[in-house]
Structure 1
């Protein structure tokens, strides 16, 4: 078996490559910039830019399974190329936001939903299986706070009481590894969460302890936060995040036991994630 891992510079993708390689599974590390990759010795690289369909066929040649990041730009073309290449299984890194009532109009959820639907349509005849991984809050989202923590020791938040279910990237990779290697697990949807619900303020407290420094939380208005985010993200994504955080400040997300059910062990806690990434915050 050969597995194509897209987005190999990402934290989930790179962790999955290590798992597959250590297990002796043939793995092809794909990226829009393959020259920037530094995979384990023996892992081949491939040019696969999810924004450029002309790169799909060569990257997919001889591939049995794909770990796919949810890029909606050419999802239909990727699904068609995978089908033509004889791919038998695609594991999509989607989002639990697709399950929200407003998924059709929420910019973040809609982008994931489009990819899910493209793969579902292309595989409807049984030509390949699709497994949907739907994490809630990525623990790595906290890395967006790192520059402010290092430079000012504080973070501006519009909803410091917003609660999340942060999941370690290693747990997502281990679930992907499990479903790629066990035919009994393929073809389903898996909602993934960490083991605990934590507010943003609580997450920053844990990060501060791991990094050995105090971190102040400054409450700002949604408008102030959106203005500060404008240089880094489209306005519709900023609006979607603000609406999501507002919802999470009013009600905690439900936790699942999916990581443990699929991998056989409980997910890593946020304190473990913070310890693993303390250097990013000046620890």
Structure 2
């Protein structure tokens, strides 16, 4: 049995769907199973990383876990529950900002993920770290609620029009996670993961407009205005610094998706096609 945490998030949902399609037994963890919309073949259970008892129950009979963590301080209880349940491997969605050589991590996001990585390394469990580059996380979409902006009109407002990113399709990240969950050769490996192409914010919105058949345009906000407009859960300073660093340089692009899954990463245009409904 494979446990998928954050199972209704885009990546988690795709992992569940891909595992079910492959005939694997999968348990999906979510706060509200009745509203999950997950495949009927999945064992959908209620739980939360901040609730150790729910995690203990969710891990019964589980051998591998996909972990997406946003809850501070959960790691000791989570690791203890995993070991007690006989879990063998944790596949952890980490941050590409983690610096293995640094005495101090570059920012709070990197430090949060670095600490979890260290706890997993010291746990005695098998682990695989999937480090998602910040510039590949499609942060513009959720930090500035681009779907809501598009529903309201043809102008998308955000910072740094020429900042480059390499957004990854959730199904591609999920494909790498599925491989790590089901193939022993990925144990002990760390992968830096991105989408297949470097695109500026302005280019991304132009491509989205083409898919939607609308003349979308990007209107640049100052860094201060962007900080005020950003969603309450977005790490504003971390994102703004990363975008500023990529104004004059392409975003990093890796071939991990191709190497691990055997197929090229999906383009930004394909992402926009697949998530078209979010913008209408």
Task: Give the TM-score normalised by structure 1.
Answer: 0.91
Unaligned residue ranges in structure 2 (runs of 5+): none
Partner of 2:62: 63
Output one character per residue of 1:55-74: Cα deviation in whole Å (capped at 9) or x when no partner: 21111111000011023421
RMSD: 1.9
Deviation at 1:261, TM superposition (A): 0.7
| 2:132 is the alignment partner of 1:131 | no
Paired position in structure 2 for 1:25:
24
Q: Spell out, residue by residue over 1:123-164, the C-alpha distance to the aligned partner (whole angstroms, 9 max, x if none).
A: 3xxxx2100111221247535311111103212222111101
Q: Which is helix-richer, 1 or 2?
A: 1
- Give the TM-score, by structure 2 length: 0.91
Counting only pairs closer than 5 Å after superposition, residues 178-193 of structure 1 correspond to structure 2 as 178-193=179-194
For residues 51 and 157 of structure 1, do their structure 2 counterparts lie closer, same or farther at Cα, with a shift above 3 Å needed?
A: same
Task: Name 2:258's counterpart in structure 1.
Answer: 260
The verdict on how the C-alpha distance between 1:40 and 1:103 changes in structure 2, with shifts beyond 3 A counting, is farther
Matched positions, count:
274
Instruction: Encode CA deviations 1:30-83: one digit per residue, 9 max, x unaligned.
Output: 112233222212321222201222321111111000011023421222112111
Distance across 2 between alignment mates of 1:204 and 1:210: 10
1:235-283 Cα offsets, whole Å, 9 max, x none, are: xx1111111111121332321111111111111111111111123223x
Q: 1:52 is matched with which residue?
A: 51
The answer for the alignment partner of 1:108 in structure 2 is 109
For the 8 Å contact 2:99–2:105, the answer to whether it is kept is no
2:33 match: 34
Structure 2 CA distance for partners of 1:154 and 1:71, relative to 1, 3 Å: same
Alignment of 1:205-224 (within 5 A): 205-224=206-225
Alignment of structure 1 residues 1-283 onto 2, 5 Å: 2-73=1-72, 74-99=74-99, 104-123=105-124, 128-136=125-133, 137-139=136-138, 141-142=140-141, 144-229=145-230, 232-233=232-233, 237-282=235-280
Distance 1:21-1:121 versus aligned 2 partners, 3 A rule: same
